[in-house]
Structure 1
Amino acid sequence: MLRAGLAAVLLVLAGCAAPMGPQATGLPAFQPATDPGPFVTAGDAERAFPEVVSRVEPVAEAICRERTRGVPCDFQIAVDPRPGLDPNAFQTLDAQGRPVIGLTLSLITDARNVDELAFVVGHETAHHILGHIPRQRETALTGAVLAGVLAQMGGADEQTIRSMQDFGANVGARSYSKNFELEADGLGTEIAIRAGYDPIHGAQFFTRLPDPGDTFLGSHPPNAQRIAVVRRSAESLGFAGVW
């Protein structure tokens, strides 16, 4: 099992990996990373994860520095080793506004190969590079204001107005969430390729997830759509996959 101590090591690993700096505009062509083969046990995935981070994080940082202005790009990778958590990965910001990529141990051990791990990490770093957190906050605020104004114009009482504002914020936050996921899939594809991994192979991770379908308030697009975006993004970079 991945202990809390290893999670701390991964934080240091991600934060101190050598940045690619000026090379970002000339990122190298696909150079395959060492492939240990399919993971047979959960321990295989745990042992492979630090190497994946050491390759993916510097590429994500380089692209972040190249394509953003005034945005912190020193990614911190955190692993939650608590047992019983569902497989999950997310991007957030710490108190200083620095990007944090969080993964549960169960997600890492659920991966079948290094390409899946690399794609997940690349996808989450892409959310930060693309500015999805502030953009989502903006759409939530817009939705809340609009819903509140409409409720007030309709003569609603104060409690109803607040309820409508909450509803509007939720709709606003989710209205672009599917597009955000697809955008992150596209950039995450590029990050994985530049780090030496096969995102088309890595996106097979989606085939094992429950399909969210295409509901109005769903936060994620259908799995088949996400796989198609990965394929198109890879092809646009001249990458056809190695599998």
Structure 2
Amino acid sequence: MNRSLRGLMAALVLAVPAGCGMTVAPDAGHAPVAQACRPAPGVIPAGLTPAATFAAVVARVEPVAEAACRERAPFADCDFLIVVDDRPDAPPNAFQTRDPATGRPVIAFTASLIRSAANADELAFVLGHEAAHHIAGHLDRQRDTAVAGAMVAGALAAALGQRDAGSLRTAQNIGATLGARTFSKDYELEADTGGTVIAWQAGFDPLRGAAFFDRMPDPGNQFLGTHPPNSARIDTVRRTLAVLEGGGRV
């Protein structure tokens, strides 16, 4: 994170009301679930620069995402590091990864995505979505399916007589790619659900935030594609939001 953004966040943390905690009474057969109270919406001042808007969103969403992480993934590292890639040629993008040295979860935004966001709700939804990937353990799950795909493809290639190192390596690479993509659409929809919950609990409008998809190329329902159709993603947000607004749990 660059120094100017860090300073903006420090100032805005003081201006943005902190979230509160509550324990929801358990349903039959379920343990009590600690959830963040939903703050009043509309706390991000209008007319801020894109960087200041993003800093305000981070100040509001990050503690909610970390609370959700501690609740749903108690053995995970929930100390998110949120960084900005300010390279002028970096296209609009956001992704979740880990610091290779420490294992700390990292959420990265490019500056071009921050500038292209139409409002704070879009930034909050994207941030919640990327945090939800970590909470659901998608990196590890994707790695496991990639390894399994590589093993199966390598064994099949060997059984078919392709025993030279180059052929086996090619088969394993193809298998790993297919394995990694097997559940990628499901992971995206699962992260959309989690992102909706996090953005809503932080006081933002996830459906307004999901309008971000309307400006993205629609991947449709491609065979072995990595992302589901935009319509499916918006439907997921809409259904999740209806449950939350009705007082239900997701």
Among 111, 117, 122, the alignment partner of 1:111 is: 117
Query: TM (normalized to structure 1)?
Result: 0.87
Q: CA deviation at 1:31?
A: 2.3
Instruction: In structure 2, give the amino acid aligned to 1:227.
Output: I
2:34 paired residue number = 25
Aligned residues of 2:153 and 2:175 also touching (Cα < 8 A): yes
Instruction: Indicate whether 1:169 and 2:173 are aligned.
Output: no
Look up the SS of the partner of 1:237 in the other structure. helix
The total of aligned residue pairs comes to: 231
Query: TM (normalized to structure 2)?
Result: 0.85
Instruction: Indicate whether 1:231 and 2:229 are aligned.
Output: no
Instruction: Indicate whether 1:133 and 2:142 are aligned.
Output: no
Q: CA deviation at 1:229?
A: 0.4
Q: Cα deviation per residue 1:115-145 (whole Å; 9 max; x = unaligned)?
A: 0010010000000000000000000000000
Q: Which moved more, 1:137-146 or 1:17-26?
A: 17-26
Look up the SS of the partner of 2:245 in the other structure. coil
Look up the SS of the partner of 1:202 in the other structure. helix
Which stretches of structure 1, 4 residues or longer, exceed 3 Å deviation after superposition?
7-13, 17-24
Distance in 2 between residues matched to 1:46 and 1:26, nearest whole Å: 29
What CA RMSD, in Å, does the superposition of the two structures yield over aligned residues? 2.5
Where relative contact order (Cα < 8 A, 6+ residues apart) is larger, the structure is: 1
Look up the SS of the partner of 1:77 in the other structure. strand
Among 197, 201, 211, the alignment partner of 2:218 is: 211
Aligned residues of 1:74 and 1:99 also touching (Cα < 8 A): yes
Look up the SS of the partner of 1:147 in the other structure. helix
Look up the SS of the partner of 2:49 in the other structure. helix
Q: Which moved more, 1:208-217 or 1:183-192?
A: 208-217
1:146 paired residue number = 152
Instruction: Indicate whether 1:222 and 2:222 are aligned.
Output: no
Unmatched 5+ stretches in structure 2? 24-32
Distance in 1 between residues matched to 2:72 and 2:90, nearest whole Å: 34
Q: Which moved more, 1:158-167 or 1:131-140?
A: 158-167
Instruction: In structure 1, give the amino acid aligned to 2:54.
Output: F
Instruction: In structure 2, give the amino acid aligned to 1:213.
Output: G
1:109 to 1:80, Cα distance in 2 relative to 1, 3 A: same
Aligned residues of 2:21 and 2:35 also touching (Cα < 8 A): no
Distance in 2 between residues matched to 1:197 and 1:122, nearest whole Å: 11
1:46 to 1:6, Cα distance in 2 relative to 1, 3 A: same
Aligned residues of 2:8 and 2:52 also touching (Cα < 8 A): no
Aligned residues of 1:92 and 1:99 also touching (Cα < 8 A): yes
Aligned residues of 1:61 and 1:73 also touching (Cα < 8 A): yes
1:87 paired residue number = 92
Q: CA deviation at 1:20?
A: 6.7
Aligned residues of 1:20 and 1:58 also touching (Cα < 8 A): no
Unmatched 5+ stretches in structure 1? none
Instruction: In structure 1, give the amino acid aligned to 2:106.
Output: V
Distance in 1 between residues matched to 2:171 and 2:19, nearest whole Å: 46
1:67 paired residue number = 72
Look up the SS of the partner of 1:124 in the other structure. helix
1:22 to 1:201, Cα distance in 2 relative to 1, 3 A: closer
Q: Cα deviation per residue 1:157-186 (whole Å; 9 max; x = unaligned)?
A: 321111010000000001111110000000
Among 89, 97, 103, the alignment partner of 2:103 is: 97
Distance in 2 between residues matched to 1:185 and 1:109, nearest whole Å: 22
Distance in 2 between residues matched to 1:12 and 1:179, nearest whole Å: 36
Q: CA deviation at 1:96?
A: 1.0
Among 43, 46, 54, the alignment partner of 1:34 is: 43
Distance in 2 between residues matched to 1:144 and 1:26, nearest whole Å: 40
Q: CA deviation at 1:22?
A: 7.8
1:10 to 1:226, Cα distance in 2 relative to 1, 3 A: farther
Q: Percent identity?
A: 51
Look up the SS of the partner of 2:176 in the other structure. helix
